[in-house]
Structure 1
Amino acid sequence: MKKITFEDIYTIGNIVFENTLYKHIHYPEMLNRYDSNFIQFKHLPTLDEFKDTEDYLREFHFRRNQRHVKFYFPESEKPDENEMNYLKKQGYEVGYLELYTIQPNQFPRVENSSDILIQPVTVDNFEAYLKLRFEQDLEFGKNFATQKIDLNKRQFNNPAIMQIIASYKGKPAGAVDVIMTEKTAEIDSLDVNEFLRKKGIGSRLQYFVMKKFWDKTVLLVADGEDTPREMYQKQNYQYGGFKYEVQKIYKEQAL
């Protein structure tokens, strides 16, 4: 099988413009979802190229009342020192993502627990899933959480996406979405109620995915500066590369 790269990661959004330098992704259904409204550079831009692209995206977003700009740099390439200094001076948040893959039979065995129940989302438990996701998404604001409801409904009707919910002692406690292709299963939006963490719910959700998609390569993307990546490493996920991301949120709609 070919090497898994960030090109294999599922993106919610549409290419609205593309040239030799970048691809512009836009998602009008959720204008404030930063991961769906961004520019992906094809190769490292010079500082002047970045500034020109920055002006283009800022103006594009300004016309649509979007208060952010976001850029992804090419996989396994880091902006040079001049660009990093510019980004920090301009108030950008600078971070990086890490790609991990695993063959399901390499995932550590997880013992059953009578307190934890893992189920695919169906019409019978869909409302419980929506309520749980809404509560999780409130971290990013009520407007975002409300818009995310429609996205979750669209994904429920997408045959290439499986939504999975975990219950702890009968109450919704966590969830994960899985994006399926012929050869891969991508773990996305894995989240557990903050008051129920460290009870094995996250591991049970992943183990369910491993058993369900035993014949596929499982992949996920982790924040390179977040602690969950350490958990993935202990669970035998294999590191597959990094990608830098930068974003800036404007307090006012001014160019």
Structure 2
Amino acid sequence: MDKITFSNIHSYGKVIDENTLYKHIHFPEMLIMYDSNYIDFKQMPTVQEFEETALFLRSYHQKYGQNHVKFYLPENEKPTDELLHYFQADQYEIGFYELYSIQPDQFPSLAVNSDISIQAVSNQSLTEYLQLQFEIDSQFGLEFATQKSMLHKQNFANNNVLQIIAYYKEKPVGTVDVFLSKDIAEIDSFTVLDSFQKKGIGSHMQKFIMERFPQHTICLVADGEDTPREMYKKQNYQYIGYKYEAFKLFFD
């Protein structure tokens, strides 16, 4: 298959406009989902181009009652010094993400742990999955968690999405979604409750995915400044590339 890029990564938002400079992605079904309402630059903008685009997106979002603007910069390109100075002066939050992939047979073997059980979400476990997801999503607010619950229900009925739930001593403690395409299985929304971390639950969830999709390339996106990325490297994931983002929240 062709090399995996950030263009392979799932987004709920759809392209509603495109020009030589950027793609405009919008998801009217869930306006408060920042990661699905943004502009994706196809080439590195000048400060003037960014400022003009930011004014457009701010105006567009205001029409829908949205209080944020979010931008992704071109893959594997760092912002220019001029852009960085502009972001800092205009109080943007700057971060970057890293893309990793692995072939399932390269994932390390794991010792059996009878305390851990990993299952694909079924009709019988859907309620537990939704309750746990609501708890996880509530860190972003009750409105977000309520709206996200509708997406989880839609995904359950989607044959291209596999929802997974992890149990520790029969208590639901972790979830992960897998978005499927012809050759790629993308790990998304990978979460283990804080009080149950460092027990091997995350590794067992990943192993479940590797065994479920042995013919797929497994990929995931990690926060470039977060610690899990170091775990992925130890688990034999291969670094593919990075992508910067600029984000701003308005309170007026």
Q: Deviations over 1:150-191 (max 9, x none)?
A: 011111111100000001111101011001111110000000
Q: Given the alignment of the two structures, is residue 84 of structure 1 paired with residue 84 of structure 2, yes or no?
A: yes
Q: TM-score, normalised by structure 2?
A: 0.99
> Distance in 1 between the 2:57 and 2:158 partners?
30
> Distance in 1 between the 2:145 and 2:237 partners?
30
Q: Given the alignment of the two structures, is residue 250 of structure 1 paired with residue 250 of structure 2, yes or no?
A: yes
Q: Give 3-state SS (helix, strand or coil) of 2:29's partner.
A: helix
Give the structure 2 partner of residue 51 of structure 1.
51
> Distance in 2 between the 1:110 and 1:247 partners?
39
> Distance in 1 between the 2:229 and 2:246 partners?
19
Partner amino acid, structure 1, of 2:12? I
Moved over 3 A (4+): none
Q: Deviations over 1:116-139 (max 9, x none)?
A: 110000111001000000001111
Partner amino acid, structure 1, of 2:192? V
Q: Deviations over 1:196-240 (max 9, x none)?
A: 000100000000000001111000000000000000000000000
Q: TM-score, normalised by structure 1?
A: 0.98
Query: How far did 1:91 drift?
Result: 0.9
Partner amino acid, structure 2, of 1:66? Q
Q: Give 3-state SS (helix, strand or coil) of 1:30's partner.
A: coil
Q: Given the alignment of the two structures, is residue 42 of structure 1 paired with residue 42 of structure 2, yes or no?
A: yes
Query: How far did 1:15 drift?
Result: 1.1
Q: Given the alignment of the two structures, is residue 106 of structure 1 paired with residue 99 of structure 2, yes or no?
A: no
Instruction: State how many pairs are aligned.
Output: 252
Structure 2 unaligned spans of 5+: none
Query: How far did 1:113 drift?
Result: 1.1
Structure 1 unaligned spans of 5+: none
Q: Given the alignment of the two structures, is residue 125 of structure 1 paired with residue 125 of structure 2, yes or no?
A: yes
Query: How far did 1:11 drift?
Result: 1.1
Deviates more, 1:95-104 or 1:110-119: 110-119
> Equivalences for 1:227-238 in 2 at 5 Å?
227-238=227-238
> Distance in 2 between the 1:241 and 1:144 partners?
30
> Distance in 1 between the 2:156 and 2:215 partners?
23
CA RMSD in angstroms, aligned pairs only: 0.6
Q: Deviations over 1:74-102 (max 9, x none)?
A: 10011100110101111111000000000
Identity of aligned residues (%): 54
Give the structure 2 partner of residue 152 of structure 1.
152
Q: Given the alignment of the two structures, is residue 27 of structure 1 paired with residue 27 of structure 2, yes or no?
A: yes
